[in-house]
Structure 1
Amino acid sequence: MTGRSDRRRVTSQDVAREAKVSRATVSYVLNDSPQQKIPEDTRQRVREAAARLGYAPSAAARSLRRGRSDIVLGLLPDWPIEHALGRLVQQLTAAFAQHELTFLVHSAAHPARPLREVWKALTPAAVLALDAFPEAEAGAMRAAGIEVVMAVHGSVRSGHPAPLVPEEPIGAAQARHLVPAHRRLGYAYPDLARLGVLARPRLDGVRKVCAELGLPEPDVRTVPVYPDGCVEAVKTWLAADPPVTGICAFNDDVALAVLAALRSLGLRAPQDLAVIGVDDILGAALAQPPLTTIVRDTDTIARGLARRIVDTLAGVQVSADPLQDPLRVLVRVSA
């Protein structure tokens, strides 16, 4: 048992023979060439023959026709692939598919193949990274013919003014929701250092709102995502002078850990400590109490990123301004 199929790949010549037309006609029909006047019944016969034989045009041939690959390589940092990130990947896949591009994802989680080996093997038309990567790597990609190299939360060029998808407004939205009823805020920081590229700007957003309103600096505590690990953070917040009464959590997972710690201490949200998360994960509405959270429009983000890649591939000048990231507060019971 070799694991290989001995079946020969179906070619366009096979389709032509089955449909009793020329190979050129097969190409014109399956590529939907607008300049060729081919009768509709012939077109239908070719499509039916291709379907019967299971014919799929080769990626190599398609690339030669277009003059470039149809692959966009998505580079994921070593982040947990959970609900929010998984949803974004699905929406990016759909957004690129609308432009006849294939979105392939590579995670940097250890032990992954070196990045250079991956892009050399695939020769994508474009690379979309969620985090920054070295300019030297980006330069090597461009030299190899990769037309677009773009980073979402960082820059592949030093001095770039802002990330494409800013995180700071998320923390600001959390703080603005809490400050009418809470004059001392805390920030529940994740205990995974590799999430700092997201956590730091979100915390900066909370800090800026506090500074604008003359409130104390937020009390920042690293919160492990399990109940016992969070208990000490909750005790410290409540024992502060004046006590912290509202918590902006890095995301819903961290917020749920805070809620679990409150329950283990016999306390309640929002009466003893209000909590607001980010992402509206599946368990947020089922939490006790149901979790108030910030909801991102990841579909709008995905379509915006795909549009920038497509426009750049087409030679269209694109803005360097951040994408619009509509945010809304989904108010439940916890805050």
Structure 2
Amino acid sequence: MARVTSTDVARRAGVSRTTVSFVLNEPEGHRIPEMTRQRVLQAAADLGYRPNLAAQTLAAGRSGFVMLVIADVRLGELTIAMSSFLTSELARHGLTLVVHFDAPGSRPLLDVVADLRPRAVISMFEPTIELVTDLKDVGVTSYSVFSRTGTLGALHLLTGEMQVAHLVSQGHKVIGFAEPAEPGYEGLSSQRFLGVADACARRGLPKPCAVRFDIQATVASEGVQQLMDAGATAVCAYNDDVALVVLAGIRGAGLECPADLAVIGVDNIVAGYSSEPSLSTVELRPEEVARLEVAAVLERLGFVDDENGEAEVAAALGLIVRAST
């Protein structure tokens, strides 16, 4: 069966090939009447037309890709689930998510951008000023998911607020913070610590003692002892993975949770359901986080996202109380 071409679409819609190109490629500075646009799209759908990606990218000067850059860190359940929902949300707007792992030995990001010509580059972590400038110079929109100033940056403040509010409701007045020792998490960890510290300060509580925990360590009791020596009766963990290490450290030190030290995490991973004791946590709902992320990216790209409307940051969070607090 012969491949359907843009000439076939033009003939079916009763327009020129140039008009078909303008409708399908959406080059800057060209506006097609909506009735004509719909006629072309219907003709393309009727014929099963699939544009040549390379030709389409060349004509438009950009592709329908949005690139998600993930740093060289261990991926958690939230990142994987959020990427899935992000793929679906972007697809509603005719955009395709492409994931680039920024790992040692990978091609330089700017080289990949030059090849794919994405509409936008989304980073899971705070990009450098140099990278943002370089992307802007080549006409690519960049967006950091958890930037300090972005919409999702507020999630860190809110998770800390929810963790501290819950612990205070249980009578705790000295709260510690458990952060990951693994490289690559410094930026996000410092933001979550700030959320916990701000929540404590607003309640007149002392600044949290921050202790690093290695999630691959066989012994975590030393970190627990540091928290106890600081007078902490409860700890806010950076995430559930770190919280589970703290629970192991409490057992290793011959202590009990929550009697000696209460623990609350972030993410609501599956392992927290059956930990001993079961883990209290602040859930980050991946579909809501993805919705917020897409809304922010589409706004920068000039789309109007009527379906999502005003996405609420608070809707992405939920407190789950279990036995560890």
Q: Shorter-chain-normalised TM-score: which range?
A: 0.7 to 0.9
Residues 1:34 and 2:38 aligned together: yes
Deviation at 1:87, TM superposition (A): 1.3
Task: Flag structure 2 segments of 5+ consecutive residues without an equivalent.
Answer: 25-35
Q: 1:237 aligns with which of 227, 235, 241?
A: 227
Of 92, 113, 116, the residue aligned with 1:119 is: 113
Decide which of 47, 67, 88 is 1:73's aligned counterpart. 67
Letter of the 2:146 partner, please give it: H
Give the number of the structure whose alpha-carbon radius of gyration is greater.
Answer: 1
Following TM superposition, by how much is the alpha carbon of 1:219 offset from its aligned partner in structure 2, in angstroms? 1.8
Residue number in structure 1 paired with 2:301: 313
Matched, 1:91 2:85: yes
Classify 1:203/1:25 alpha carbon distance in 2 versus 1 (closer, same or farther; 3 Å).
same
Which of the numbers 2, 8, 12 marks the counterpart of 2:4?
12
1:215 aligns with 2:205: yes
- Matching residue of 2:33: none
Distance apart, 1:37 and its partner CA: 11
In 1, Cα distance between equivalents of 2:42 and 2:218: 71
Residue 150 of structure 2 aligns to which amino acid in structure 1? P
Contact 2:66 2:95 survives alignment (8 Å) = yes
Establish whether residue 105 from structure 1 lines up as the match of residue 109 from structure 2.
no
**Alignment CA distance shift 1:38-1:219 (3 Å):** closer
Task: Tell me, yes or no, if structure 1 residue 175 matches structure 2 residue 179.
Answer: no
Amino acid at match of 2:162: A
Q: Find 1:25's aligned residue among 12, 27, 32.
A: 12
TM alignment of 1:258-269, pairs within 5 A: 258-269=246-257
Q: Give the percent of matched residue pairs that are identical in Structure 1 and Structure 2.
A: 29
Alignment equivalent of 2:152, drawn from 153, 157, 165: 165
How many residues align? The count is 298
Instruction: Tell whether the 8 Å contact from 1:151 to 1:164 is kept in structure 2 after alignment.
Output: no
- Counterpart amino acid of 1:169? L
CA spacing shift, 1:275–1:119, aligned 2, 3 Å: same
1:5 is matched with which residue? none
Q: Which residue of 2 aligns with 1:154?
A: 147
- Structure 2 distance, partners of 1:130, 1:175, is 25
TM-score norm. by structure 2 comes to 0.80
1:134-175 residue CA offsets vs partner (Å, 9 max, x unmatched):
3443333333332x22222337xxxxxx13312222122211
2:240 maps to 252
Shift of 1:316: 6.7
Q: Please, what is the CA RMSD of the aligned residues?
A: 3.3
Of 263, 267, 273, 1:279 maps to 267
Q: Distance in 2 between matches of 1:305 and 1:231?
A: 38
Amino acid at match of 2:273: A
Does the CA-based 8 Å contact 1:153-1:197 persist in structure 2?
no
Kindly provide the amino acid, as one letter, of the partner of residue 11 in structure 1: R
Contact 1:76 / 1:105 at 8 angstroms: preserved in 2? yes
